[in-house]
Amino acid sequence: MESYDVIVAGLGGMGSSAAYHLAARGQRVLGLERFGPAHDLGASHGGSRITRQSYFEDPAYVPLLLRAYELWDKLAHDSGQDLITLTGGLMMGTPDSRTVDGSRRSAERWGLPHEMLDAAEIRRRFPLFTPRDDEVALYEAKAGLVRPEKTVGANLGLATRLGAELRFHEPVAEWSAGGDGVTVRTEAGTYRADALVICPGAWAPQLLADLGVPLVVERQVQFWFAPTGGIEPFRPDRQPIFIWEGPPGTQVYGFPALDGADDGVKFAFFRRGEPTTADTIDRSIRAEEVEVIAAHLATRVPAGAGRFLRGKTCLYTNTPDEHFVIARHPAHERVTVACGFSGHGFKFVPVVGEILADLVLTGATGHPIALFDPARAW
C-alpha cells in the first residue's frame, strides 16, 4: 500500500491550492481528482470570477482578502500566468441594500479606499449602466477578476514541480481515519497517509456526510452575450465588474469583455439556482433562462442584452448562513475539510490553501477562521 504525508481529495480551486502549499512546505502529497485537471464540471470554471475587498457578506472576511491579494500576486509571479486583473468594481443597489450597505460597512470598518456614487455619477462615469434615481454604488478600484481555470492549472503545475503526485479521473470512493493515520480507497487502489485534506466541492454531501453541516447543492448558470454595438465599450479599461441588487434582493453580476469579440461578455444571477446534486445536475441551458436574464439586463445594462452566445452550468454548495466551512474535522483530528463556499469562495483560493496547510501541519492557523467552524449553530 502506497503511503504519503498528506492526501488531498479534490483538486479544484481549494484542493489544488492546498496541494501546492503543502508541497511547498516539504510534504509528500498525493492529490486525487475525479475528473481531469482544471475541468468544467464543478465550481472552478467559467473564465472569470469576481474578486473584491469591500465585502458585503461580512467584514470578518476582509483580513483574509487582504492576504489573498498578496498571494494572488505571488501565485501569478511563481507560475508565470496572468491570473488577476483589477478593473474596479461597482456594488450597486439602494443605499440600504445588502450589496451596498454591507460593502460600505466593510470598507469603513477596515479603512478600505472606496467612493460612494449617486445615480447621476454612475451614469456619467459608467454610461453602460442605467440605475434608477434612488440607486447608488460603492466603487472600489481594487476590485476585479481572477481566472479560475488558469489558477487551478497554476496550482497544479507548481505542486507537481515541488514533488506532489497528482492522479486524475480517480475519485475517492471512501475514507477512514484513526489514531495512526488515514486510509483512502479509490477504484484504482488504497492509499495511506498521516493526514487527509478533503476539498470535495459539490460532492461534499457524499464525502462529508458525518460532518453535521446541512449543505445544499444548487445548479447555477453563467451566460455570455454579444453586446449590442460591439464589445469595445465593455473592455476592462472602460467597464468594471459589478454586482447589482434589485428588489426583492435579486443580484445580477457581470464582467468586462476579456477576450475576443466571439467570446462576448459574461453575466449571471447570484444564488438564483435550483437544488440539485453533483451527479444529477441538468447541464443543458434552457431558453426561458436566457430570456429571464436578458430581460433583467435590458433594464440595467441595455447594451449587454444582445445576442445570446452560450451558457455554462456551475455548482454552488451552500451552507445555511452562506459562510464557509474550513476546519479540522470535529470527529477526526487527522482530517481537514474545506467546503460550503456558497458561490463566493474562489477569490479566497490562495489563502485557503495556506490555511489548510497550517491546519494540517500545526493544527491551527493565524488567520481568522472562527466564522467557518462546522460546529457553529445551524
Q: Are strands 332-339 and 325-329 parallel, antiparallel or unpaired?
A: antiparallel
For residue 244, the SS3 value is strand
CA distance 35 to 50: 24
Give the model's confidence band at 28: pLDDT under 50 very low, under 70 low, under 90 confident, else very high.
Answer: very high
pTM above 0.85, yes or no: yes
Give the model's confidence band at 272: pLDDT under 50 very low, under 70 low, under 90 confident, else very high.
Answer: confident
Helical residues (DSSP H) of the chain, grouped into ranges: 13-24, 62-79, 103-110, 119-125, 148-161, 204-207, 287-298, 349-362
Q: Dihedral of CA 94/95/97/102: which sign?
A: positive
Give the CA distances from residue 358 to residues 126, 159, 354, in Å, rounded to whole numbers and listed in that order. 42, 16, 6
- With 90 as the cut, is the pLDDT of residue 140 above it? yes
Q: What percent of the chain is predicted at pLDDT more than 70?
A: 100
CA distance 289 to 270: 14
* Residue keyed to cell 451596498: 100
CA distance 224 to 247: 23
- With 80 as the cut, is the pLDDT of residue 1 above it? no
